[in-house]
Amino acid sequence: MLTVDYESKVQLLHGFSNKTRIQILECIKDDEKTVSQIVEAIQGNQSNISQHLACLKGCGIITGRQEGKYVYYGLRNQRVRDLLTMIDVVLVDVESDIATCENHIE
């Protein structure tokens, strides 16, 4: 049986709790991209995207690989890719409940 470290679990889930971070994860889900490619794909601000990439990297969700003057960002592994897919699957089941939920804590 796995021991649950709730603080680590919260930190991991924090990486998935922001629209921009989710957009970044979806953008690099199938292949690595540079910051410039991510900025262009999601129409974001480079400084903001860089901060979110640092968060995702710090949480261990993504990796960065230096090649020349560019850093290529990608998902850490197949399990992260599978988790993104599973989030989509669960969302289909609960989407109508989420839309009517009055108890969201921000």
Average pLDDT over residues 17-33: 97
CA 27 – CA 30 distance, rounded (Å):
8
Long-range contacts formed by 67-72: CB under 8 A, 24+ apart: 70/34, 71/34, 71/35, 72/32, 72/33, 72/34
Distance CA 101, CA 17 (A): 17
Q: Measured between alpha carbons, how far is 63 from 74 in angstroms, rounded to an integer?
A: 6
52, pLDDT greater than 80:
yes
Q: Which CATH architecture fits 14-100?
A: Orthogonal Bundle (1.10)
E-strand ranges in the chain read 62-67, 70-75
Domain residue spans in the chain? Answer: 14-100
pLDDT higher than 70, residue 104:
no
pTM of the model: 0.88
Average pLDDT over residues 15-40: 97
